[in-house]
Chain A
Amino acid sequence: MIRVENLTKTFAAPGGGEVQALAGITLRIDRGEFVAVVGPSGSGKSTLLFAMGGLATPTSGQVFLGETRVYDLEREARAALRRTEVGFVFQTFNLVPYLTCLENVALPPLLAGRARADAMAAAEAVLERLGMTARRHHRPAQLSVGERQRVGIGRALVNAPRVLLADEPTGNLDPATADQVLDVLRDLNRGGQTIVMVTHDLRLAEQAGRIVRLRSGALDLAVPSRVTA
């Protein structure tokens, strides 16, 4: 499903020199898996996630989504891939503040060129699935943080992507709300949705099917990854 082969990513450090965010990561995620990526701050979790989603061009190595070599695609083709094959969920929700919930969720299909009515219908269906129909005409500022993250998940799901990439999706939520959001993700996974979730919360990570640990941009093999399902 997703293969990451010997992926490296180096940034220029602000004070000169280089920072190696990813140091030769090789990883395979199969269809229907729910993988949690854990590690300390600065270990490269989010960079790996964005690289898998075609957003962070690696310094070297390859990312395969199915049979597609993601970074062999032109920039516009990668944007098209993000519209249809990948769904991002963000820690701070990143909803467009002037759009309603319905419009936020309809954004990816609209960007993909679908007709307005079609996009809105798809968004309605996703919001219903997430129990957010009653809030569809509210703006993000009028929602609780848990509801905002549900809308964020809806936006990531609406184009039926092959993989959902969640960057600390519960990082801004209280424990109870975090559990609710995680329940949503587990429900989706039970329905066959492939999910990769970055988190620093081991309690939540243990709810995933597999844990991948990163340390200093590399896989931490000292602690074995665990399969719970």
Chain B
Amino acid sequence: MTSAALWLVRRELAARVRRVALAGAVVATIAAAVTATELVARGREAAVAAQIDLVGPALTVVPRGTTASALARYDIAGELPSWTEGAIRGALERDLRGIEKRIVVHREVAGAHYPIVGVFPAAGSDAALDEAAVGSELARRHDVGSRVTVYGREFEVVRVLPSTGSVEDAALFVPFGAARGLGGVEGVNELRVFLAAGVSAHEAEARVARALPGATVIRTDRGEVADAAIQESLARHRAIAYAVMAAVAALTLLIAAHLDATERRIELATLVAVGASRWTMFGALLARSAAVAGGGAAVGALVGSLIGAAQEPSIRDVGPTTWALAAVVVGAGALVGMVAAVPTAFACAARDPVRELQEG
């Protein structure tokens, strides 16, 4: 594109700002809606993540060498040293809400291997030694009332646990002592650490890790994982909504470019007659539409940021997220504008300038 084309576009838009106001306003409205929605959504996502971090996930302490993915499969090797629980209590002190001790072994149940989870009974628990709970997946084969035999020991299924989307859905939960007997172990191999409300899991993880150099500390992040799935779904829906909005903007810009080129057909033919090349004309039409859309998007991004800030206090400070989002909105707006003008530019390039000049 030549500088003459850009100069022409600038002069035309400066002189005819009212003519492009409608198309620019449509783009600005859409850009404002996208910016505000996205800023608020991101602000809320960050707030929820922070909230989950504060109230939520337990830390899981497992023997050294156990990775997060191994834990996700309940593939835990070895036992934790007997002093582990005390070290955790010492590290967290009043920030600790409770510790759940577990022993996890893999055993065959009715021809297939399942994790058997022994849970240390909470104070006051009246669970009998031959009672078991099953995860939702295992419940398809062993529902409440059925009996499950593991290594010759029989358990009655008394409860089905709600689905968590994790390996626990396929696990058999038995009393701690029973699991120890099945595994032939004395200690525990998983400690679940629950934190007092308001304590950051990130900070607690660091403190426990410092106190337990011989163990692996994993932030389970279950809440975040569950939230991430929800957020992912919402983000998908937002993306679809944005795509529809972009299509509306593109259609508006396409119609605006077409009407403009029709109205200016003699002017455009004259430019060809005085020597404007096809690419100059093409570039001028694309640049004009991109400028209208980009300008509208810039105004929209500004308005959207203000609306977003009014709705979501956490984004009142203009940060990199806001700038990056505004840049993306303006860039996308300009791109949509450019693409929307392509059919008109091709149509103009195909017109016969002599016919336009003679009929004009």
A1 in the interface (beta carbon within 8 A): no
Q: Which residue of B lies closest to A165 (CB)?
A: B273
Q: How far is the CB of A214 from chain B (nearest CB, A)?
A: 15
Number of interface residues of A (CB under 8 A): 35
Task: Write the residues of chain A forming the contact surface with B, with a CB cutoff of 8 angstroms.
Answer: 46-47, 50, 53, 55-56, 75-76, 79-84, 87-88, 90, 92, 94, 96-99, 103, 107-108, 110-113, 116, 155-156, 159, 167
Question: How many A-B pairs with Cβ below 8 Å?
Answer: 82
Which of B10-18, B104-112, B190-198, B294-302 touches A?
Answer: B10-18
21 inter-chain pairs at a CB distance below 8 angstroms, sorted by A residue, are A47-B358, A50-B357, A55-B272, A55-B273, A55-B353, A80-B275, A82-B275, A84-B275, A90-B270, A92-B266, A96-B267, A96-B271, A97-B267, A98-B14, A111-B271, A111-B276, A111-B277, A116-B3, A155-B274, A159-B275, A167-B357
Ranked 9 nearest A-B pairs via Cβ: A83-B275, A98-B15, A94-B270, A110-B4, A82-B275, A79-B277, A56-B354, A50-B354, A88-B273
B274 and A92: CB pair below 8 A? Answer: no
Query: B4-46 interface mask toward A, CB cutoff 8 Å, 1 = contact, 0 = none?
Result: 1001100110111000000000000000000000000000000
A76 and B11: CB pair below 8 A? Answer: no
User: Which one of B2, B280, B354 has the greatest number of beta carbons of chain A within 10 Å?
Assistant: B354
Residues of B contacting A107 with CB < 8 Å?
4, 271, 274
**B contact face: mostly helix, strand, loop, or mixed:** helix
User: Which one of A55, A79, A88, A156 has the greatest number of beta carbons of chain B within 10 Å?
Assistant: A79
Measured CA separation A81–B274 after assembly (Å)? 10
Q: How far is the CB of A172 from chain B (nearest CB, A)?
A: 12
Measured CA separation A56–B351 after assembly (Å)? 12
Measured CA separation A92–B354 after assembly (Å)? 14
Q: How far is the CB of B350 from chain A (nearest CB, A)?
A: 12
Q: Which residue of A lies closest to B269 (CB)?
A: A94
Q: Which residue of B lies closest to A46 (CB)?
A: B358
Q: How far is the CB of A76 from chain B (nearest CB, A)?
A: 5
B275 and A98: CB pair below 8 A? Answer: no
- If A103-B11, A110-B7, A159-B275 are given as contacts, then 18 extra A-B residue pairs at C-beta distance below 8 Å, sorted by A number, are A50-B273, A53-B273, A55-B273, A76-B278, A76-B279, A81-B275, A82-B273, A90-B357, A94-B267, A94-B360, A96-B270, A98-B11, A99-B11, A107-B4, A107-B271, A111-B271, A112-B275, A167-B357
Residues of B contacting A83 with CB < 8 Å?
274-275
Contact of B275 among A47, A75, A79, A94 (CB under 8 A): A79
